C-alpha cells in the first residue's frame, strides 16, 4: 500500500504539488496523467524520494517518513523507503558497460550482496518474464529502445519491490516498440503487480491502469477508472486535456 498525506513540493517560490493526499492499494495500477508541468512526474518521484517533498508524509508498505522543511532525512531512512520501490525511467538508464543480464544482476550483487549464481538465476527468470532471455548477453547499445526498456523493467523487478514506479515508460519509443512495453506492463498488471506510472500514453493507461489521477497545477483535478476519465470526464480541464491528446493521436495515425 502507498499512502501520501498532505504532500507539498516547492522549488523556491514555485509550488509544484499542492496538498496531495491519496491512498493507492496493493495489487492495483494507478496512472498519473496530465499536461507537462502539471506535477505527475514530480509526484511519482516523491514516492521513492528522488524528489524530496517539502511537507507531508509518505508510507510505502511498513515504511513511513514524515517531511518538514526543517528536518533533514538520514540516508538510512531514505534507503529503507526506496528499497520498497523499483523505478523504470523514460530513458532506460541501463549501464552501458553491462550486458542485459549484468544490468539485472547489478543491484542484487552490489547492493543486496547476493551470490553471483543466485543473482544470475533471478536475472534469467526476469528476462524470461519480459521476453528478453534470448538477449541476456547482449550489450545495451545493440538493443532497440523497446528491448532496453524491457531489460530496465526486469532490473527494477529484481529485488522484488512492493511497488513498481514507471516514469513515462513509453514516451521515448515509437508506437511499435512502445507496444512491446505495454504488453509487458499489462502482463505484470494481470499478475497483480502494484504499479504507479506517470504517462501521456492513453493506450497504456487505459489498458493497464485500474485508476487514473489527472493532475494539473500541482492538484489532483479528477480521479476515477480509465473508462470514466477518458470517455466521460467531469471536469472541464480534464475534457480539454483528453481532447488534445486524442486529436494528437489521430493526427499521428
> How high is the mean pLDDT in each 10-residue block of the chain (253 residues)?
94 93 94 92 95 94 89 87 93 95 96 96 97 97 96 96 95 89 94 94 90 95 93 91 70 46
Predicted local distance difference test score (pLDDT) of residue 34: 92
State pTM to two decimals: 0.92
Predicted local distance difference test score (pLDDT) of residue 72: 84
Predicted local distance difference test score (pLDDT) of residue 251: 40
User: Residue holding cell 512526474?
Assistant: 41
- Residue 81's nearest CA partner among 89, 73, 71, 69 is 73
Domain final position from 110, 139, 160: 160
Predicted local distance difference test score (pLDDT) of residue 248: 52
Query: Is the domain of 129 the same as that of 167?
Result: no
Report whether 177 contacts 133 (CB < 8 A). Answer: no
Burial letters for 121-136: b for 16+ Cβ neighbours within 10 Å, e otherwise? ebbbebbebbbbbebb
The domain containing residue 202 runs over which residues?
A: 2-84+163-252
User: Residue holding cell 528536518?
Assistant: 71
Query: Is the domain of 80 the same as that of 175?
Result: yes
Amino acid at each position: 500500500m502507498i499512502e501520501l498525506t498532505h504532500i507539498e513540493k516547492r522549488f523556491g517560490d514555485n509550488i509544484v504539488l499542492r496538498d496531495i493526499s491519496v491512498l493507492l492499494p496493493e495489487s492495483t495500477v494507478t496512472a498519473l496523467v496530465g499536461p507537462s508541468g502539471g506535477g505527475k512526474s514530480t509526484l511519482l518521484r516523491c514516492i521513492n524520494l528522488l524528489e524530496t517533498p517539502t511537507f507531508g508524509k509518505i508510507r510505502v508498505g511498513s515504511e513511513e517518513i514524515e517531511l518538514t522543511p526543517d528536518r533533514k532525512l538520514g540516508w538510512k531512512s531514505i534507503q529503507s523507503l526506496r528499497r520498497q520501490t523499483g523505478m523504470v525511467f523514460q530513458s532506460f538508464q541501463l549501464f552501458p558497460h553491462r550486458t542485459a543480464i549484468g544490468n539485472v544482476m547489478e543491484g542484487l550483487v552490489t547492493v543486496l550482496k547476493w551470490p553471483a549464481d543466485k543473482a544470475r538465476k533471478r536475472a534469467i527468470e526476469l528476462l524470461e518474464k519480459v521476453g528478453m532471455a534470448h538477449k541476456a548477453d547482449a550489450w545495451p547499445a545493440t538493443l532497440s529502445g523497446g528491448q532496453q526498456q524491457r531489460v530496465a523493467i526486469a532490473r527494477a523487478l529484481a529485488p522484488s519491490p512492493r511497488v513498481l514506479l514507471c516514469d513515462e515508460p513509453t514516451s521515448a519509443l515509437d508506437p511499435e516498440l512502445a507496444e512491446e512495453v505495454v504488453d509487458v506492463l499489462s502482463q505484470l498488471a494481470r499478475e497483480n503487480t502494484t504499479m504507479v506510472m506517470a504517462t501521456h500514453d492513453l493506450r497504456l493507461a487505459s489498458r493497464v491502469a485500474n485508476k487514473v489521477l489527472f493532475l494539473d497545477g500541482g492538484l489532483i483535478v479528477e480521479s476515477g477508472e480509465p473508462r470514466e476519465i477518458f470517455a466521460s470526464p467531469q471536469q472541464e480541464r480534464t475534457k480539454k486535456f483528453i481532447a488534445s491528446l486524442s486529436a494528437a493521436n489521430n493526427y499521428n495515425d
